Structure 1
Amino acid sequence: MKKNVLIIGAGGVAQVAAFKVAMHNDVLGDIHIASRTLSKCQAIVAGILEKRALKRPGILAAHQLDAMDVEATKALIRQTKSQIVINVGSAFLNMSVLRACMDTGAAYIDTAIHEDPEKVCEPPPWYGNYEWKHREECERKGVTAVLGAGFDPGVVNAYAALAARHYFDRVDSIDIIDVNAGNHGRYFATNFDPEINFREFTGTVWSWQQGQWTANKMFEVQRTDDLPVVGSRTTYLTGHDEVHSLSANLDVPDIRFWMGFGEHYINVFTVLNKLGLLSEKPVVTAEGIEVVPLKVVKAVLPDPMSLAPDYTGKTFIGDLVKGMRDGVETELLVYNISDHEAAYAETNSQAISYTAGVPAAAAAILIAKGEWDCHRMANVEELPAVPFLDLLGRMGLPTRVRDADGDRAFDPAEFREPRGKAARVGGVS
């Protein structure tokens, strides 16, 4: 059984993960939070102590760390005797933190694909460009590395696996739909790191259609769905992490990701993009100062963590899965609804951070208990989905299921046994 957790990062997602790890420190042991800015880590520690979130008395400490420095990260892992590392810092850190875990034997968890600061929307498959190159080393060393254990990617991968293993005889399409129906009251802001947020939408939109990669432009393709709680919503085809692993691990011809954007967001984004202010390439000002336009925009926008106190409304994230079951065309919607105000009351964070941070903590618990301690590199859909979704429901992210029989809470007993060999994913039943 693995114990002691090192959380790398000090943004909103890291804050939620830290709160949830604290609430389960009887299982997870010591908690250490590290980032370049020590004061941010200390603020998270103070928030946890103020809300008395620790399940039992234990070590809760803040550290300053440049996680791009592999040797420094390895030293901190060893110093803190951490056997589980939750990487919820920038996606630019993934390969450095993964290397530190592979060299020390600590289990690794992240919530997004690695990104190269010099490249935007690389040709697919994105995991194949970075993390998957180390699968053989992880297996040889017996290192557990769980990739994309946020909500999307993460929980939506588990939803897809749940459907494929337990519900359908054949899956024809998976449409992942992400809608933030909340309001933060600011003129314009992003819900997580602006630099990462904008990079998702300035390049080619890659989706998996008819068994091959298909390229589109951002905001080129849209759909409208009548969704539970949030109602009728228009979403846009967007390139996203989970499509790159699901297309490799599930035998499904159509896998797409759709994200909701308001008209105001699209207008502001379009102006910034057309002016070149979302470029990651440096420019030189008239004064001879070299700046990166995207970093300047990030600097003037509100800190995503500052949005939480005023956020109201709900989020919807789910998988609309279509296929065949017992010779009949079948549709299944598996989804979660989260509330911004409830998330803030519990963890000082808004629901976007909450939905990403809780699953990372749940993955740590499953690794600690041995259920997900697979001693290899795996994406979430390759691991048992039912215990993950069951645990998430008890940690504040309940799953609901809507099909021909109605809309109901996820019941683990309903999905206990796989439907057959055709529904098996990644060799794990």
Structure 2
Amino acid sequence: MVAHKCAQHNDELGRIAIASRNISKCQAIIDSVKAKGSLKVPADIQAFSLNALDVEATKALIRETESQIVINVGSAFLNMSVLRACIDTGVAYLDTAIHEEPGKICETPPWYGNYEWKHLEECQAKNITAILGVGFDPGVVNSYAKLAQQQYFDSIDSIDILDVNAGSHGKYFATNFDPEINFREFTGQVWSWQNSQWTSNTMFEVKRTDDLPVVGSQNLYLTGHDEVHSISKNLNVPNVRFWMSFGEHYINVFTVLKNLGLLSEQPVKTAEGLEVVPLKVVKAVLPDPASLAPGYTGKTCIGDLVKGTKDGQPREVFIYNVADHEEAYAETDSQGISYTAGVPPVAAALLVARGEWDAKRMVNVEELPAEPFLKALDVMGLPTRVKDEKGDRPWDAEA
């Protein structure tokens, strides 16, 4: 997804290098980019084999390819290694999620403070642009929160991030992105920011039902998520929560897997003496998220429901995007979840290249100007809409 969008804007982004442990996957992406005619201007797009946990190898590849911007859309386990390589080589770093350690789940908040934020001073001292969490959520929803603060409210009491996938992939059970990362989000404590303090719940303990644009009435559950950890710090809002929609079938399968111990990240030994991590076994037998794209139907709706005051009056605004799985596949051979996650880092890379987001320090998305980012997304396939007392309409940067 990221490769397709970079190719569509390679007149500004230049040469593209794709690196992974599995070079055949990189080549398949390149073949897809060429088959779709995504390259805006003729240019090289190359595949490289890389273990991104190897910092020295990553630094060598950055230098070999003369890269100036690295978009890390690998596993969250890679973040600190890739960030280290970018700092050491002096190039811009972008990612889409908080770093995770394989043996730890749902660490003490704020999660960014455990890893990325420890390098704030170093990035500032070395003028390194590092933009953290610039997918959709985290990422675009952070920018929605910034927009709400600047354009729609004088004071904000709560930001509830609502993430709904009302699509269908036709499989008995599958996750829309890396199963290991997906399940790790839900097996530990659910951390939210309420009344200006961290609050802990268990998964599926707190539920709400919302009638949302296009996707209709949906059940959503309070979930721990990346953006809560930076928005609560940077925007000074007393209540920041993340909610995700789940169907009963997903909840039932998840509950069985968890109760059987199959979602554990801790190694166990089989009767034959083999050491395995149950969660990795589950990942190995589930469908590859990329394989879901061809038959995926339906839409997503992701946005920020913001409550506060404007001109002394209470106000509620929903800032959101709706994406279509079939349209995403037609354009990029990807399903809608990949589309919503993959377009934003490319928009951010364009803004870095243009100088508008070349921060020369480590930042989360809500610390950067919202308007240029949302304007870029409007023309790149993820238009922003606003629903409030005036109706439901496209976001207007001049309003």
- TM tier, shorter chain? over 0.9
Matching residue within 107, 111, 123 for 1:126? 111
2:218 aligned with 1:208: no
Matching residue within 365, 369, 387 for 1:384? 369
Give 1:9's aligned residue: none
The Cα shift of 1:374 comes to 0.6
Q: TM-score scaled by structure 1? A: 0.93
> Which amino acid in 1 is paired with 2:131?
V
The Cα shift of 1:251 comes to 1.2
Distance of 2:237 and 2:380 partners within structure 1? 30
Distance of 1:135 and 1:69 partners within structure 2? 22
Distance of 2:388 and 2:152 partners within structure 1? 11
Report the 3-state secondary structure (helix = DSSP H, G, I; strand = E; otherwise coil) of the residue aligned with 1:47.
Answer: helix
Matching residue within 91, 95, 98 for 2:76? 91
> Which amino acid in 1 is paired with 2:165?
N
Matching residue within 112, 126, 130 for 1:141? 126
Give 1:53's aligned residue: 38
2:264 aligned with 1:275: no
> Which amino acid in 1 is paired with 2:78?
L
1:9-28: CA deviation from partner (whole Å, max 9, x where unpaired) = xxxxxxx1110000000000
2:339 aligned with 1:354: yes
Alignment of 1:219-234 (within 5 A): 219-234=204-219
Distance of 1:260 and 1:19 partners within structure 2? 28
Give 1:253's aligned residue: 238
Matching residue within 303, 308, 323 for 1:323? 308
Give 1:41's aligned residue: 26
Distance of 1:72 and 1:405 partners within structure 2? 54
The Cα shift of 1:413 comes to 1.1
Distance of 1:65 and 1:200 partners within structure 2? 27
The Cα shift of 1:266 comes to 0.1
> Which amino acid in 1 is paired with 2:49?
Q
The Cα shift of 1:167 comes to 1.4
The Cα shift of 1:411 comes to 1.2
1:289-314: CA deviation from partner (whole Å, max 9, x where unpaired) = 11110000000000000000000000
Root mean square deviation, CA, Å:
0.4
1:245-296: CA deviation from partner (whole Å, max 9, x where unpaired) = 0000011100000000000000000000000000011110011111110000
The ranges of structure 1 where at least 4 consecutive aligned residues each deviate by more than 2 angstroms after the TM superposition are: none
> Which amino acid in 2 is paired with 1:244?
H
The Cα shift of 1:56 comes to 0.2
1:86-115: CA deviation from partner (whole Å, max 9, x where unpaired) = 000000000000000000011000000000
Give 2:324's aligned residue: 339
Report the 3-state secondary structure (helix = DSSP H, G, I; strand = E; otherwise coil) of the residue aligned with 1:200.
Answer: helix
Matching residue within 113, 116, 120 for 2:101? 116
Q: How many residues are treated as equivalent by the alignment?
A: 399
Distance of 1:166 and 1:366 partners within structure 2? 21
2:160 aligned with 1:175: yes
The Cα shift of 1:68 comes to 0.2
Distance of 1:398 and 1:74 partners within structure 2? 36
2:85 aligned with 1:103: no
Give 2:398's aligned residue: 413
Give 1:188's aligned residue: 173
Q: TM-score scaled by structure 2? A: 1.00
Percent identity for Structure 1 against Structure 2 = 72
1:2-47: CA deviation from partner (whole Å, max 9, x where unpaired) = xxxxxxxxxxxxxx11100000000000000000000000000000
Distance of 1:269 and 1:232 partners within structure 2? 22
The Cα shift of 1:212 comes to 0.2
The Cα shift of 1:347 comes to 0.6
Distance of 2:225 and 2:332 partners within structure 1? 26
In structure 1, the gaps of 5 or more residues are 1-15, 415-429
The Cα shift of 1:412 comes to 1.2
> Which amino acid in 2 is paired with 1:187?
Y
In structure 2, the gaps of 5 or more residues are none
The Cα shift of 1:410 comes to 1.0
Distance of 2:391 and 2:134 partners within structure 1? 29
> Which amino acid in 2 is paired with 1:101?
C
Report the 3-state secondary structure (helix = DSSP H, G, I; strand = E; otherwise coil) of the residue aligned with 2:273.
Answer: coil
Distance of 1:63 and 1:173 partners within structure 2? 45
Matching residue within 337, 353, 358 for 1:373? 358
